[in-house]
Every structure is written in structure tokens, then in C-alpha cells.
Structure 1
């Protein structure tokens, strides 16, 4: 009997018979209810990755659910079958067309009335796995609805496996293959069915008031919070307020609702572009219960300053003759849209002239690459903040499904991206590649799209070439729009797109901000990402809610760009400058299948490798980036930020800020010219120790003891252990001794002790006390005390929020060799003498470090063929010139010491390794390997069974070769 069958039997016994049964929990039954990470989407993706074939039998299928699964279905190497229906007319013709065009997937239409099945069956090496319950193939059913679905597995000989095979074959036998002709016929019937007509408006839904012809715009919960926060700011006597609201979340509607609650005597609304005036005026009219003649404009020759609500362009109002006509207190309420532009002289003139009771600024991007400090202009009064990820989770925007795909590659293997010559950018082959990707990932129904190019001429020629092509049975209709086009021409083109007369507008950076095209449901990016702000702005062009639009598709062509790393920074809203954190989000998105509510991020194989390679290669933590992050936080707060500020605002990783380029955060402030006075040599050593060793928060024990001593407590060993127990932390003798070794510096190497100086804590008898050297500096400097307290508070915050308040190693997280020595309780740091693995006799532990892809320069005698055989098994080789009789190797093979396995993909990832978990050895055998001269050397090889399987994304990451 195969091992996989043994695993399945044990997992089944664990799930159905006795939960104390030892099992690997690869195939155990699980109730999937869409709680936290236990979602149907994650479960389906996980099963697809380990299956040979699949059958889905689902009554209802939506295009947004297919968009979530698209990359996984495209990458699936086996054969698939999907049985669905036209029951109740739920499935749209577009969803059926998308199903029909999935490569390697048969689609069958079951005509039986009442077809309402919801089952997912997967054929795998070990047997059959099925997920059966309440979830159809819709985005809400896969992620959000309260569902009950049972996942279970069976051996091929099992009766339930036979029952599943029988019911699947019966359903298919009574079904008909789906064809375009069937879809066309169904489409005629579908078009006659009535559809809901509720139209969401910029994150708000109209609520009827009882009058047949009237409605009231009512904010959702997030806007309600924003309105309360603005009202509180005004009630506190503040005259300035800033609202940061992501693109597409309805800043103008929010402003109108604020005016409705404030009821000013007279209001001025300022915008930067003429065509926005009419749109803003119209939206305010929909919200405010005032007659039409209460609204006026101040644009060019139209100067209706006598109206209660005046909508004006900054160009018109800032003219000297216009400003003279406006009394300083003429408006008691002023609102400025896109206020990040307010550093310009025109805005300054207006803001210096007018003295309203309250001035509210609205922006999606307060962080600027220039020297404008938007926060300072508004006295750092941030009334409310709605970032993109939060807006998506609150359903203020439509979900997006992002596909990062490789740009066109010619027959010689050369990548043709936007760094190429124009003639190659607009080559017919590249246009054909563009069309293939749009066909593969794009909507099958009506498209309202934007295509962003890198150059004006490229946009014009791409548009001309596209207009010669046919897609979805019709000739493409596109129009280029560039900066030289008049406002009237732009407006006509946008109107034609929204009216369905065009499929795409092809442009460069024309639509980054200041224009609303709610119907846009597809964005194509054919240029490299130069700025995360611009990327987010262009993504935001398609995120507005609109009738008949349930999601946005984004197709991004990824070339050989050094700044590819900006893409995940923008998509995940990650400003940490932490490579490991960013890499984890890229990998995690593939496992979970969704981010920020119902959105998803997908990369084809090559695109993902290019993103990960860019993250590895870039100097995310450059001094320039760190200074920029510091400047942004300083502008937000209006004063020097501390490490805790970066942690609580979840911006740059405080550990990166404090340690990437300097010894400590105080040293960084000096280097950034934020402070003049540097720490003394002794202070520098203590702070370097705190920021490098304790701030990361990988074990909170040292921080808790040190914090207690700083607060004047006097603790004995037994009291410290009681403190740890009260905090639900391990308090065994080995851990306590390890804490003492770290705080006294006994744990560290001579070189590290030279760097850090004296220890922080001494043990006198059975009582801990702060070291005299530390107390001298503590008593001498208030600045030093502030930095120490900041490091301790931030370290404890990270220990709780990043590392789960644990002292143990966590699978999937990264650790250095020194971290491992410390967390395993070793008496000293032995990172320099590990040579791949080492048994510590005192703790009886053995960490094993694997570099999965060896550098070509590594000697032949150390080119071990370590590999992951499956998500829970590693084939491992000992050092060469070792036999089964060698002391350490014999102990390892006999499972006499706990084994902890760590791995990194290659040396380019740095010094940290992913923790794969504790492992048990089996099948140890004597083998051989050759050295540089071809001579054969003895080596021991064995399999290591991990306690828990790796997450699919991490497993696949190690298996895929570096590009």
C-alpha cells in the first residue's frame, strides 16, 4: 500500500472516528464556512493545485467568480469538466461564454428543471476529494456568504468515491455540451428577463423616502464615520480639515453630505478643471434639498457669485481681479477638491485671501513626490481617511481582478516592453499578443476599457492597429486620447465610451485623476509602473460603482523592469519597505485567492517570477526611500515621529527604518538631518542592541523583563516566570536562561559584544537589575530614555501584532541563523559555525538550513541535491564525507534530536530562511556524491517528514526555478 493511501486513511480516521489519531491532516474532512481564511475559494484553489482532473457541478456561475479562478484554471495541467444550467435564468450569457472558452475544460449544460447542485470533485494521486454543500460558483458564495461545505476524501475503492463517480457520469450523460449556438439562443431569452435597476452612486445607495419620484442619498457606515469625524473637528473649533478618500469612493458626494449636515450660509467648491465643475454641481444638487437657483458657477464668463453654493475653477477664482470681488469672509465654508495640488501659487493666493469658518480639503493622494506638505497646510487635522483596501472591503468600490502577464516576447526570446523602440512597440506581433491576453483575461461581454501606453505615438498607432481587429465577433472600436486633444474632444470621446460606441480609449497618463468614467470595467496597462501613486490612480479609474458592473478586470503587461516591485506595493497598499513582508503578500495572494474583500491579484508564472525577482534585486530600504517615508510621517504628524508611530499607522516597517542603514533609529535621525545631537558611544551601543535584537519582536520575553525593570519593578526568577505565565508565554527553564543570556550579552559573539558594549540586565543572586552602565546613560539623558521606551513599546507591539505573541518558530516565517539559536534556547550565537546543520548538545536540538538553488560558484562537494518531494516531505543530504556511523548523522537518522528545517530559495534572498517546520527522519541511506575532481565522496541522504504541510504558495515558490 502506498504512503499516500496510509496518509489518507489516517486523516480519515482523525476526522470521522477519533480526533486523537496521529495524522498529517492533508485529506482530513473540513467544514468550510467562509470564516476568516477558511473560505471556499482557498479550498478550491488548494485542491486544484494537487489534482489531476476535476468536475464542478454548480447551478449558478458568475463572471466575477470565474475572474477569481481564471489564472488557476488556465494554469491547471489536467482536464476539467463543469456542469451547469440555465435554471431560473441566473447565469448570464457572458458567464457561459467565459466557461466555454476555458482551455482544457469541458462544459455541459444540464436541462433538468430544478438543477441546483453545488459540488466540486477532484481526482488526485491518493484518491478522490470532494467539496459538497451550499456554495455556487459566485464570488459571495466563495468568500463572503455564510456557507456550509464539507470537504472529504476517499480512496478509489471507497463506496463514496464510487457514488461520486456515478452521479457525475449520470449528470453528464443527461446534459448537452455547451456551444456558442446554445448560448446565443439562451441570450435572446435572457435579454427579455427584467433586471434590478438600483444604481449605486459613488459608494452610496439611494434610499427611497416613500415618495415615488424622490430619493435621499444615504451614506454607508464608513461615510457615516467620516461625517461624524468632520463634524467633531468643526465642533472643536478647528478651521481646517483634511479628508483622504481613495479614488472612486465618492469624495464629491461625501463633500455634499457634509455640506448638508453643516448647512453653511454660503459655500465655495473649488476644482482644478472646468469639466469637473458641472459634475460636482450636479452631484451636490442630488444631495442637497435646495432650489436650482441656489447653485451657481464661477468659470470664465459665468460668474454667479451671488448663489448660495458656488462651484468654481481655481484658474478663475485665483485671478487678481476675481479675488478682489470676493470678500475675505464671503464664504463661511470652502471646500477644495484634489487638494494635493494646493501647493501651487494659485491655490496659495486663494487660501491666503479667504477666511471661511471652515475649509475642508479632499484628496486621494496626500503623499507627494514634490516638496508640498499637504498635511501642514491643514494643520495636520486629518478628519478621516479611507484608503483603497479599506474602501474595497467596505464595498464602496467594485472588486478588481488583476492579472500580471508577461509582455510580448519575439521569436528570438527578446522581451518587447515599453523600453523598446517605437517600431517594435507597435509591431503587429505585439498587438496580436495584446489581443490574446485581452481575450484570455478580459470580459466576454460589453467592454468599457482604458489602455495606458508609454508614449503618445504608441497610443495613436496601437489604437489604429486595434481598429483593424475583430474580437468577440465584432470589429474593435478604439480612440486615442493625448494631452494635446481639446477638452471638448476628450469629453466627446468619454461620452462615446460610456454610450457603448467605443470599446477602449487609448492614452498615456491623461486619466490619472480628475475624471469620472463609472462604466469602465477593464483597464489594460501597457507601460511600466513608474509610481505607485500613478498606478493606484489609473487602477482607480475603473473602480467606481455603476449599473450592471460587478467587477473590474486589470491586465498588466510586465516587462523586464527594475521597478516591478512597485506593482505589489500599490496593489497591497504596502509601504513597509520590508522585502519579506512584500514577498509574503505576493505568495499569500495566490494561496488565499482574494485580497481586500472580493478582489484578487493573479500573476502568470513568468510575471510572478519577474515581480519576485524585482523585489529581491531592488534596494527597498535605500536611505532615500527611508528618508522619504520619514518625511511623509513627519508631514502627517507635524512633529518628529517615533518608531511606534510607524507601527501603529502601518507604514514603513520600524525595524527596517531603525536598522537597515544605521545602528539605531536615533542614528537614522542624525543621518537624515532630522536632529543635530547624536547619541554618545555608550548610548549608541545600547540602542543598537535594542533596535537590532529586541525591536523585531520575535520573542517578547526579553522586552517584558526589561520593561518591568525600567518601570522600577524588582523581579526574581520566579517572579519573572510568573509574569510570563500571566502573559500566556512559555516560562520553561531553557527559555528563561536564554533571556538572561541575551540581556546580559553572554549569548553574543565577541564581535557583537564589541558593537553593543555592556549588557542591559544583570542577575544578582536570584534578582534581576538594570546594569550600572545602562543606568548611567538612562539617568543622564532624556532623549536616550525616550528612544529606549520607544524601542520597547514598539517591539512589544510587533511581538503581539506581527508574531502572534509567541516565542516559538512559526512555519512560513523567515529567521536568521542567529534568530534560530536564540529561539531554540542555545547558550550562545553559533551562526558562524553551523555549516548547514548542527546539533546543540545542551538543548538537544538540530536546525537544518537548506539553500534550495545553489549558486554556480558553490563547490561540487557542497552541491547537495536537497529538494521538496511534496508539501510535507524534504529529501535532504548531510555534509559530504559523512556516513551512517558518523556521530551527528547517526543521531539525526535515528530521530534522537528534534529537527527544525529552514530553507531559502537562493542566496539573493539574503541571510534569512523560511521555517518549514519540525521534521521526523525516515529512510536514511548511505549514498555518494562527486567532488570537483570527480572523486566520489560518502554522504547520507534521508527523507524528512514535516509536522504540517507547507502552504501551497510557499511550496510552489521553492519549486519554480529563478528566472
Structure 2
């Protein structure tokens, strides 16, 4: 029996006949329903990665769905066919042009017959099997990710009747269809009429976005704005007279402010902006919301000083001049609004704010974080009634979805291209060719481009524009223009109008469009420069996120060189402020696995770019004191006090484990950054170091719960503790409870660790009663600061256990653990992390963890360079230690599966000490062999296959197995 036949037989038996059968679950039938991570997009991506041919036969296709699959289709090395139709006129000419632009994919169009073409089938061919997904999902972004769908995935051998039925059905569709050509699309476009579409939310009625308003002209707040308006009003009701709103670019903060003005009904309002060209747009939006007569609106800019109007819109440059400012009574305006208020540290803003005395002052910004010492939050009394960052706004469908492509930048002679490179290198013909090729491949093919190209230098932008104007994309000559800070406001506005009017394809610039410019129609952003700041990256990305009529999605093409700071890219894309490499690495892997991130957006890297990101992440020092102090100060500014560890957790900022252990414990960190003069005693510091290093991570909540109870009650009986664990739904068997006591008594730890943690038990057990250790109890009663720090660690650890883990205290597949974590969570008698050496059979706990470092370093000796390798997502070829035979005691226990095996893996040692937990495994097909070492004779070793209970995710499998050239 072939291996494929064996797997198919077991998997189909598991799926259709008996779920108790031990199966690899690679080919098992699955209902794909868009619940949780079980999405149609993920299912298609997974199948593409393991197939050599595919056929999609689907009625409806959207450009955004094609964009989601584009990188996977570019990476696909087999043959592909897509069959679609003109049924109901759903498919737009733009969708057909995007299909025609796919490289290596044959596309056929089925005629719109009276019977109607409504197929929804996806067929994938592997070397020795066929997998199909058939059900309700069309190739649209909502059907792939959001809609409630039912699609059945099943597999069969090539000779199976169902495979032959599918083959005949496909051939019938192809025979009735015509090949997609440019001429066919032109003819279709000449008669196509856009059809009404359902809301992306699937309700049939689109929810109001920041630009939605009823036919009567009444602007209706969307869900987020309703929440924000309510919170602002609550703040006013509490007697506060100023607040700052944090709202990502494109989320309609001007509309939000106008809605609040409508609710407040001021007698005299002032709106302040930092650029004159924003005024007219702001006035238009306020007119839509307030529906007041034109004569109520006035400007204060240049020679226009219409202060007598009810709603005055002013530039800071004009208003802050002393002669202008002092001509206004301080209380003249009862409501003052300041746009882009993160600039309020400038003298002009401070002069204005200090002078005016409104009843209510509202500031608005997308980026409150500052590089100087100015604290925006303090200026507004630390009142932040509403905050919506980029990821939340995307999830709420307030912004246009984006599809990001990280593309390998052109490299000549191995030279890294950056802002310091010779101009000739930056605009070399080969690099321009590479840029044009990427634009053709990844950019919009179905609709006219409205693009921004962000360059590293102004001279690069100017020369690049000249060269691009000599090139063509999709048969049309490019039309570009370069802008810099030297261009006048009028020149910039004219260029923007040309872009929005379709007279330009791209504007090339460096940073003048980072903020303060509103170009809703921008549908493509090209980043042709090194990422030096995650904030700037987000600002430039935000230029294309505003929704606009006819705009399906934003395309972002980011050229990634071999730069040291490539790690900033995922930090910006995912909004990850944790300063934790593990967190960022996991988000990259999860995004590749899911195919999508917040809302209907996606992040894609080609193979080389992805490895460059991982290499940069491995090499950087994210948790430097400089970075940690910067994050500490930002949160301190936000709160108006030094943050606690729980604050970092709740605001989803720096990983509390990172900042708490940097100086051994958080109290010492606070002392180091000058936030407190008080210092813990030596013993207090050692206790906090134990709590921070061992329990704060929340991987098991048991110890934290017992400590929390002891700090409240003084004593706890063993019976009560068992009941407490049971009430929290946690394991409360004797092995776990004994393990908890070994940890808190410190007997679990090595001699050096016991000394490091204070040498005295944290918890004592006498006559079935727990109590605090005597020394800790004395210190606890004597020092309020110690109490606050201990409670902070406990509260934060419990929070992480609930929000980062599953509150079980058990090993969780996909999470990362150190060898010491594993010893604790498997209830070992002691910490034996220094004696595991790849694996260890522990008869005390009846467990055997196996740790695999997939890519061994060059420094690893021949006698320990084991050739462990994944065979597929469910099985791994694994080697025991050298000098072992099938007769060795530990080997026999593993080979005969007499003890549970737990498999852990990491890609290489650059990842640190933690390993991904892949789940329980079963040993099979063990055999005696030799490995390098001991001269020509070699060393005895046993090799076997380890079969996982459940297959690991495709992206994690690829992460381990792939080592692309950098």
C-alpha cells in the first residue's frame, strides 16, 4: 500500500466512518465555514502550497479577492485554470483584467446562459491525490473570509470515481467557454452595467462609514462614531472641559468632530488646522453635518478674517500671530477644535491654547506619540474618550482594505541600496525595470492607478519620475510627477488634482504626503525606500486607506532590501508595540497562514523578503533600554503617572514579561529610568525576580491563584485550594497541586536558582495548610511598595493567562515554551532544563519532551548535528542521541510508545530559548543506523518517524522547512 493510499484510507475513515481512528488528518474531509481560523481563504492557500495543479470554477470574482491570492499564485509552480462567467453581470471588467494579468493561469469565461452559471468549486491536484473544496463560496473577499459559508473539502485517489466526475465537469465547463482575451474584455466593458452589490458586512444594507449620509443630507454616525460621541459627552458631563481623540487616518475624525459640534450646539466655534489647503475640505464636511447656511461659515487665513461667523476655520500660521490673536477675546469661542494636535508642542499652538478660554477644547490626532518631550495627553488633562488605531479601524470596515506585498528590492553586485547610495544606484536602469515589473505584477490592472511613490531622497524622486515617464505599464505610457518641499502649495494642489482627475498615474515624493494631505482616490502606494520609522510607515500607508467611490482596495508594494531595520515593517503592519520578537514572529507566521489580517486586508512577502524580515528580527535588540524607556515614557504620558505592568498588558503595548525582566524585576526598572528613588531590599528584589521570571508569563495560573488567595486570607487549606482550582476550571489533580507547591517552595529549582530567588520558600505547607513563607510574610507586612509590586505581578500574570493563553495551565499547541516551562507544566519533580539535551524520558511525570532545533548552526559538532526533518505537516524524521541503540532503555520507552511524547521545535538558535509546541506524537518505524562522528566507524543512533496527533499549520511548517537565500 502506498503512503498516500494509507493516509487517504485512514483520513477518510476518520472523517466519514469513525473519528476515533488514529489518522494524520492531512486529507480528512473538513467543513470550511469561515468560523475562527477555518476560512475559505486559508483552505485555498493551504491547498495551493501542496499542489501542482488547480482548477477554480466560480461564478463571481472580485479584484480584491484576486489580490488576496496573488502572491500565492505567483509562488505556485504548477498549472492553473480559472473558469468564471458573466452571470448576472456581477464580474466587473476590472475583475477580468486582473484575471488576465495573472501569470501562468489560464482563464476561461462561460457564457451567460439562461440556466445560469453558478458553480463554486476549487480542485487541487497533488502528485498522487486530488483534493476538492465545493460548496457556497465564490471568489470574493467576503465569501473567502467573512460570510457564513459551507464548503466541503475532501480528497480522493486519481482513479476514484469522484475525481473522474470532477474532471468531466471541468471539461464540460471549458468546452462551453471562451479563453479570456483583451479583446473580449473590451467588448464586455462596452455593454457592462454595474450591478447592486451586497454590503461587505453581508447585511444587504451598508452601514454608514465616515463619508456616508442619507439622501436627505443628514449625516448618520457609524457605530464607532456613536460610541465616541457618547464617551465625549460622558466626559463633559463629568465636568471635564478638554479632551483628545485618537483616530487613525481616514476614519473620519473631521466628521466625528462635526457630529460632536452638532450635539454641543456652540454659539461660536473655532476649528484650527496646520495647513491652509485643509480648510476648504473641513468646511465642506462641517456643512454636510451641520446643514447650516453658508453665511455661518468663515475663514481666518491670509487676508480673510471672518471672525464674526458662527463657525470659523483658521490656519495656525495666521491665528497664532500675536497681533491677530490679541484682537480676539479669550472667551470668544465656546468650542475650539484643533486638528493634528500632536503638533501642539510647537510655540504657535501653545500660544493659542494658553490664550483662548473655550468652554470645551477638543484635540484630534492619528499619532499622539512624539519624539520630543512634549506630552499631548497632559495638555488635555489625560482625557482620551475615544481611540481607534489602524487595525481596529480596518476590522470595523471604516477604511479601505489593503493588500501589502513585500517584494525583494533590486540588488546589484551585492550592494544594499539605501538613502546614502549613489544616485546612479538608486535610479539604475535595472532597478527601474525591476520597479516597473513589480508594478505590472502586483499593481492594479483593472482600474486606473492613482499612486504615490515614496522615495528615499528628493533627487531620486525627480530622476525616477523622468525615467518612469519613458516606460509603459500594461501598454500605457506612465505619467508621473515628482514633488518636494520646494514645491509651492499651489504646485502641490495642482499635482493632486491631476492625480485625482486621472491625468497622472503617480506622484513621487519623500515625505511631504506623510500627513495632512487628503487624497481619497489613492489606490496604490509604492515604498521604494528603507523603512526607518514604523510611525512614518503607517502614515504613508494611511495615504491610501480612505474610502472612495470606485475604490475596491489599496495595493501597497514595498521594496525590501537586506536592511538591518526590516523588522520595523511587521511592527507597523500589525501595530505590534510589544518589543517581543516572539510576538512579531508569530504575527508574521499567522498572517501567512490565515492569508488576511485586520478586516479584509492581507500581508504577503515573497520568499526572500520574508527571510530578510526574519533575519532582521533575529539580529535586532528590540528590548534595549532605549526602546523600553521610550515606551515607558509614552504610556506614562498617556496615564499621567508611572504605568504598572498591568497597564502595559491592558493597553497591549510592551510585553510585560519583556519590561519586567529587563532589570530582573520591574521595581529595579523603575529605579533605573528614574521613575522612583525607592529601591527594594536584596531579599525583596529576589522575590520579585522570582515572580517576574517564573510566574508573570501566565503559562500556568495555579501558582498565581494560590498566592493571590494567601495575600488576602493569610492561610489556605489544601482542600480549599483544590476547590478553588476546580471552580476556575483548572486541573486539580494531585500531580499538578504537588508541582505548584514545589515551585512556590523553590524545591523545584536548581541550587543556583534557589539562591537567586532568595533561598527561602515563597509558600510553606504545614498540616495541610498553605501560608506565606516566614521571611516573605515579614517583608510583606513591612513594605507597602513591595505589596503593590507583588500584586501587580499577580494581576498581570492572571490577565496574561486569560488573554494570551487558554487559562488551562496545560501545554497549548502553537505556543512557545522554554525547557524549564516544559518541566514545570509537565509536573516534573525538578527543573532539569540543563540535562535534557534534545529530549528526556522522565518516569516521575511519565512524559518525554522532544526538542528539535531545525536548522543547526555551523558550530554544531558532527556528533550532535542530527538530520531531523519534517516529511509533511504531520510527521517528522527524528534521531535519538548518538551512541544509542534499539536496546537502550530510554529508546525502548520511546519506540514502544510506553510514555507520552511531546514534540517541540524552533527554526534555529537565533529564536532564543523557546520552542513551538507542536503537540503529542507517536513513534513508528524505528530503525538502527549510523551518523557522522568517531571517524569512519560512525556513531550508533536510532531514527524513527514521529507522527503528530494533529498536523501543524502550513505556514509554521514552511517557516521551519524553508531557508531562502538572503
Q: Identify the TM-score tier after normalising by the shorter chain.
A: over 0.9
1:391 matched residue in structure 2? 393
Distance 1:502 1:195 in 2: 29
**Structure 1 residue 911 displacement after superposition:** 1.1
Which residue of 2 is the match for residue 309 of structure 1? Answer: 311
**Helix, strand or coil: the match of 1:855?**
coil
Matching residue of 2:280: 278
Aligned with 2:160 (options 158, 161, 169): 158
Alpha-carbon separation, structure 2, partners of 1:934 and 1:430 = 51
User: 2:104 corresponds to which residue?
Assistant: 104
Counterpart of 1:837 in structure 2 is: 839
Question: Counterpart in 1 of 2:66?
Answer: 66
How many Å separate the matches in 2 of 1:217 and 1:488?
A: 31
Q: 1:112 to 1:188 in 2, by over 3 A?
A: closer
Aligned-residue offset at 1:194: 9.2
Q: Matched residues in 2 for 1:527 and 1:666: separation?
A: 41
Q: How many Å apart are 1:824 and its aligned residue? A: 0.8
- 1:586 matched to 2:588: yes
* Alignment of structure 1 residues 613-652 onto 2, 5 Å: 613-652=615-654
Shift of 1:199: 11
Kept in 2, the 8 Å contact 1:200–1:547? The answer is no
Query: Is 1:520–1:542's contact at 8 Å kept on the other side of the alignment?
Result: yes
The answer to whether the Cα contact below 8 Å between 1:200 and 1:206 also exists between their aligned partners in 2 is: no
Query: Does structure 1 retain, via aligned residues, the 8 Å contact 2:629–2:673?
Result: yes
Partner of 1:936: 938
Q: Which residue of 1 aligns with 2:822?
A: 820
- Once the two structures are superposed, the pairs formed by residues 903-914 of structure 1 within 5 Å of their partners are 903-914=905-916
Distance 2:396 2:884 in 1: 59
Q: Report matched runs for 1:689-700 at 5 Å.
A: 689-700=690-701
SS at match of 2:694: helix
CA contact (8 A) 2:79 2:104 kept: yes
Is 1:450–1:507's contact at 8 Å kept on the other side of the alignment? yes
1:457 paired with 2:464, answer: no
| 8 A contact 2:26–2:874 mirrored in 1 | no
Pairing partner for 2:785 from 783, 786, 794: 783
Asked if 1:92 corresponds to 2:104, the answer is no
Corresponding residue for residue 708 of structure 2: 707
- In the TM superposition, residue 192 of structure 1 has moved relative to its aligned partner by 8.5
Match of 1:849 in 2: 851
SS at structure 2 position matched to 1:804: coil
2:294 to 286, 292, 298: 292
Paired position in structure 2 for 1:212: none
In the aligned structure 1, how far is the partner of 2:28 from the partner of 2:91?
A: 33
Deviations 1:70-108 (A, max 9, x none): 111111121111101122222122221221232221111
**Secondary structure of 1:47's aligned partner:** helix
Q: TM-score, normalised to structure 1's length? A: 0.97
- Preserved contact between residue 209 and residue 222 of structure 2 (Cα < 8 Å): no
**Residue 143 of structure 1 aligns with which residue?**
145
Alpha-carbon distance in 2 for matches of 1:696, 1:776? 26
Shift of 1:716: 2.5
State which drifts further: 464-473 or 843-852. Answer: 843-852
Task: Output one character per residue of 1:722-753: Cα deviation in whole Å (capped at 9) or x when no partner.
Answer: 21111111112211111110000000011111
CA contact (8 A) 1:202 1:544 kept: no
- Where 2:385 maps in the other structure, the secondary structure is strand
State how far apart, in whole Å, the 1-side matches of 2:391 and 2:552 are: 17
Question: Does the CA-based 8 Å contact 1:243-1:362 persist in structure 2?
Answer: yes
* Residue 671 of structure 2 corresponds to residue 664 of structure 1: no
Alpha-carbon RMSD:
1.7
- 1:706-745 equivalent positions in 2, closer than 5 A: 706-712=707-713, 714-745=715-746
1:203 aligned to 2:210? yes
Taking the aligned partners of 1:139 and 1:192, their CA distance within structure 2 comes to 18
Q: What count of residue pairs does the alignment treat as equivalent? A: 956
What is the aligned counterpart of 1:901 among 885, 900, 903? Answer: 903
Normalised by the size of structure 2, how large is the TM-score? 0.97
Q: Distance in 2 between matches of 1:354 and 1:603?
A: 50
Over 3 Å counting, the alpha-carbon distance change for 1:591 and 1:511 in structure 2 is: same
Matches within 5 A, 1:77-88: 77-88=77-88
Report the CA distance between 1:23 and its aligned residue.
2.6
Distance 1:928 1:796 in 2: 48
SS at match of 1:401: strand
Equivalent pair of 2:208/2:220 in contact (CA under 8 Å): no
SS at match of 1:641: coil
Which segment drifts farther, 664-673 or 18-27?
Answer: 18-27
How many angstroms apart in 2 are the aligned matches of 1:533 and 1:174?
Answer: 52
Q: Shift in Å at residue 677 of structure 1?
A: 0.8
CA-to-partner distance for each residue in 1:368-399, whole Å, 9 max, x for gaps?
11111000000100010011111111111100
How many Å separate the matches in 1 of 2:40 and 2:25? Answer: 18
* C-alpha deviation, 1:421, in angstroms: 1.6
**For 2:913 and 2:281, how far apart are their aligned partners in 1?**
55
Structure 1, residues 785-804: CA drift from partner, whole Å, max 9, x if none? 00111100110110111011
Post-superposition shift, 1:862?
1.0
Helix, strand or coil at the partner of 1:409: coil
The answer as to whether partners of 1:201 and 1:546 remain within 8 angstroms in 2 is no
Check conservation: 1:52, 1:79, Cα contact below 8 A. Answer: yes
Shift of 1:414: 4.1
CA distance in 1, matches of 2:728, 2:210: 43
What residue is the counterpart of 1:423 in the other structure? Answer: 424
Correspondent of 1:655 among 651, 654, 657: 657
1:8-407 superposed matches below 5 A: 8-113=8-113, 114-190=116-192, 203-209=210-216, 215-407=217-409
Question: 2:604 — aligned with what?
Answer: 602
Q: Is the deviation greater in 714-723 or in 888-897?
A: 714-723
| 5+ residue gaps, structure 2 | 200-204
Supply the distance in 1 between the matched residues of 2:318 and 2:844 (Cα, whole angstroms).
79
Q: What secondary structure sits across from 1:619 in the alignment? A: coil
Change (3 A) 1:454 1:415: same
Q: Distance in 2 between matches of 1:858 and 1:847?
A: 21
8 Å CA contact 2:89, 2:194 repeated in 1 = no
Report how far residue 715 of structure 1 moved. Answer: 2.5
2:471 pairs with 1:469: yes
In 2, distance between residues paired with 1:819 and 1:572? 28
- 1:511–1:541 Cα contact (<8 Å) kept: yes
User: CA, structure 1 residues 322+182, in 2 after alignment: closer, same or farther (shift >3 Å)?
Assistant: same
SS of the residue aligned with 1:919?
A: strand
